[in-house]
Amino acid sequence: MPSPSHRTLESPGRRRFLAGLGGLWLALGLGLRPSPVAANLAAERLRQAMQAKYGASGLSSLEEWFVLIERLRPADLQTRLREVNDFFNRRIRWLDDIDIWRQEDYWATPLETLGRGQGDCEDFSIAKYITLKELGVPEDELRLIYVRARIGRSSITQAHMVLGYYETAGAEPLVLDNLVPSITRGSLRTDLDPLFSFNGSGLWAAGSSQSRADPVARLSRWRGVIDRMQQQGFIQGG
């Protein structure tokens, strides 16, 4: 996964994850029924979890996130997208998982990302996704997109994740990325080659408009994030 400074090393864990997609494509053909997952905030539980794990500094970051959410509730969609993207890109310091978690590939919850003040591409994307859902952006308009990102003008690529906003199911997405400050249309991001995308209720192969698998069942790291979010105070809802 590339960093803002374009590091060229890719973790073995992420390579294994991408190598394991062969089994995922088999699963896509099974027609498994998705199991929707929604996140609604239990604010006091989140505060307690943050205080216990990250202390006063983490709690301060969480309160700033709550303020952002309340401020953006009446805002128009473009403002929500832009300010959520900016909030995490400015607040969270990019760092590789091995340095943050001593693991090769770890997907953090928004609470963990805010508490640490650090994250990699998956953590940025997940935090933006959950925030926009809390602001009322429908889940079917948001997807976490796994891509191969080309580094500069070279032919070197690395695994990377961005968040896509889709006005309609077949629309060109707007891309929210921690590498590029501005939100851009997917067609302008010629440095990104999509592999697959997912949200809480569907999983799509690149170029497909039909979801054919349950992401919670098929992506163990996504399932792990959801489980921890529920424990921390992101509760399953409608």
Tell which wins on pLDDT, 13 or 133: 133
238 belongs to a structural domain: no
Contact status, residue 146 vs residue 57, Cβ threshold 8 Å: no
How many other CB atoms are there within 10 angstroms of residue 79's CB atom? Answer: 12
Q: End-to-end distance of the chain based on CA atoms, in angstroms?
A: 33
Count of structural domains, the chain: 1
Strand partners, 145: 162, 197
Burial of 207 (0-12, 13-18, 19+ CB in 10 A): exposed
Contacts of 112 by beta carbon, 8 Å cutoff, 6+ apart: 53, 123, 228
Confidence of residue 9 (pLDDT cuts 50, 70, 90): very low
Is residue 106 one of the residues assigned to a domain?
A: yes
**What's the domain range around 172?**
36-230
Q: Note the pLDDT of residue 205.
A: 84
Q: Report the candidate in 143, 135, 136, 123 with the shortest Cα–Cα distance to residue 199.
A: 143
Residue 92 has pLDDT above 80, yes or no: yes
- Is-above-0.85 flag for pTM? no
Say if 237 falls within a structural domain. Answer: no
Helix axes 21-28, 12-19, angle to 10 degrees: 30
- d(CA 172, CA 56) in angstroms, rounded, equals 41
CATH label of the domain that carries residue 210: 3.10.620.30
State pLDDT tens for residues 38-89. Answer: 346 899 999 999 999 999 999 999 999 999 999 999 999 999 999 999 999 9
* DSSP class of 3: -
What single-letter amino acid sits at 30? Answer: L
| Residue 166, in any domain of the structure | yes
pLDDT bucket at 172, cuts 50 / 70 / 90 = very high
In this structure, is residue 169 part of a structural domain? yes
Residue 153 domain-assigned (yes or no)? yes
| pLDDT for res 7 | 45
pLDDT band, residue 210 (cuts 50/70/90): low
Which of 104, 121, 124 lies closest to 113, judged by CA? 124
Q: What is the pLDDT of residues 124-158, one digit of tens each?
A: 999 999 999 999 999 999 999 999 999 777 788 99
- Mean pLDDT value across residues 95-105: 93
Question: Residue written as tokens 């592999």?
Answer: 195
Mind listing the pLDDT tens digit for each residue in 223-236?
999 999 999 999 75
Q: How far apart are the C-alpha atoms of 15 and 170, rounded to whole Å? A: 29
Answer whether residue 1 is part of any domain. no
Report the C-alpha gap between 173 and 232 in whole angstroms.
30
Is the pLDDT reported for residue 33 higher than 60? no
Phi, psi of 3 (to 5 degrees): -105, 175
Residue 171 lies in a domain: yes
